[in-house]
Amino acid sequence: MEAIQSPSLRPSPLDPLRKSIPKFTNVRPLGAKRVSFISASASTVSAPKREKDPKKRVVITGMGLVSVFGNDVDSYYDRLLAGESGISLIDRFDASKFPTRFGGQIRGFTSDGYIDGKNDRRLDDCLRYSIVAGKKALENADLGGDRLGKIDKERAGVLVGTGMGGLTVFSDGVQNLIEKGHRKITPFFIPYAITNMGSALLGIDLGFMGPNYSISTACATSNYCFYAAANHIRRGEADLMLAGGTEAAIIPIGLGGFVACRALSQRNDDPQTASRPWDKERDGFVMGEGAGVLVMESLEHAMKRGAPIIAEYLGGAVNCDAYHMTDPRADGLGVSSCILSSLEDAGVSPEEVNYINAHATSTIVGDLAEVNAVKKVFKNTSGIKMNATKSMIGHCLGAAGGLEAIATVKAITTGWVHPSINQFNPEPSVEFDTVPNKKQQHEVNVAISNSFGFGGHNSVVAFSAFKP
């Protein structure tokens, strides 16, 4: 078998820039070579070369989601462009005794046509969202129904992760154990609670026999899945991957757990303005839920079957702050080095990036830590738009990166970036155009989407329009 050289070990045109800030030379993200972050102002360095091999180029051919704005990708993005808030008071259960009583709760969800009724009644919402989003992504990729027979299912895989897993099934099982004894625990308790089952059930339903597992890195989960799925394709282990994230944690134990972490906004009198990324008055994040799934294919495979190519995945990276269980490094070092690694993997120079879909959760520490990181990488911020999808749909935890990747791709294909709403009194140190309160027309050259999770997990993925 031919040895595969990691992209992080190859000589790069970015290497001279790594010497520009000596105090960060001890960082080692994703490889043996020491690196530091890059300076976008160093224009003397030639742009890295992007992948040309159609077997290794990864394209996006389908997108599917379940969201607080419904299950249709175009409608979802239209409502984001309109600056609509999907946040409301929780009515799925009695939240009146909680200090936070609102979230991005999904209402009216239906799986009709995607999951048979008997199984649908048993499944945790986390699994239902995953299956529906995955199948909708395949339909969008012109692989619905009988068309699925066009592909080699032994070379098609699923990588849909979740941060929390089947939380309702788990919570109900514990309650039954305590109140009624072990005989009242459903036999589906373990299978429907464990985090791998979203990928497993999709694979079983579709007959996909390629790489199939889950990644659980808290709120960075979806981007980790995109990165891993793309690498399976690049290494020749799969032609097509369904990848993304799913989450359904707006239940009493989920809400209560994040309340106990003191992570949530308590703006109960005005929920729709509670998520305020980069605003001086932000007081915590707002919980959301849903799923976001992409169909990722090698360019060669997509072209052979005549697939609709929506955009191109250029590259990505993952690493760890190695700093604190819940707090990010204030200086943004882990994030800046992750962005650097993603740009190198993508074959992209900093000057080419002009859109950032930020993690931007509306937490006091996290928002500015991310800003500190991106400012270290992108010294000239004047041409970059940076917005916050979470300001409208809340923080969807393990699904956040999936839903935000879809928003990022839609920005590329439509030429419009959605606003960051609730920008009333922005932090002066941000220094980016955060697209405040109103959509903006913007031709995206290269976009990156950031996702970070408890445990210090960092992930960045890069997309662009597809150019043959």
Cα dist from 149 to 155, 156, 164, 351, whole Å? 12, 11, 33, 42
DSSP letters spanning 226-252: HHHHHHHHHTTS-SEEEEEEEE---SH
- 395 given a catalytic annotation: yes
Radius of gyration of the chain (CA): 21
Q: How far apart are CA 317 and CA 294, in angstroms?
A: 17
**What are the structure tokens assigned to 326, written together?**
């819940």
Residue 359 is among the residues annotated as catalytic for this protein: yes
Of 126, 225, 338, 359, catalytic:
359
Percent helix / strand / coil, the chain, rounded to 5: 35, 20, 45
Residues paired with residue 43 on neighbouring β-strands, in sequence order: none
Question: Is 340 in contact with 35 (CB distance < 8 Å)?
Answer: yes
List Cα–Cα distances, 73 to 222, 406, 451, in angstroms.
Answer: 17, 8, 20
Strands 102-103 and 88-89: antiparallel
Q: Which of 232, 395, 418, 442 is catalytic?
A: 395
Query: What is the rounded CA–CA span in Å between residue 463 and residue 392?
Result: 22
Q: Which residues on adjacent β-strands are paired with residue 309?
A: none
Sign (positive or negative) of CA dihedral 278, 314, 457, 77: positive
What element of type H or E holds 206? helix 197-206
- Beta-carbon contacts of residue 342 (< 8 Å; ≥ 6 apart): 315, 316, 317, 448, 460, 461, 462
Tell which phi-psi region holds residue 247, choosing left (phi > 0), alpha (psi between -120 and 50) or beta.
Answer: beta
Q: Cβ contacts of residue 434 below 8 Å, gap of 6+?
A: 277, 278, 385, 386, 387, 388, 420, 423, 426
| Selected catalytic residue, list 219, 225, 338, 396 | 219
Q: What is the C-alpha to C-alpha distance for residues 308 and 158, in angstroms, rounded to an integer?
A: 20
Q: Using CA atoms, how far apart are residues 308 and 447, in angstroms rounded to an integer?
A: 20
Which positions are annotated as active-site residues? 219, 359, 395
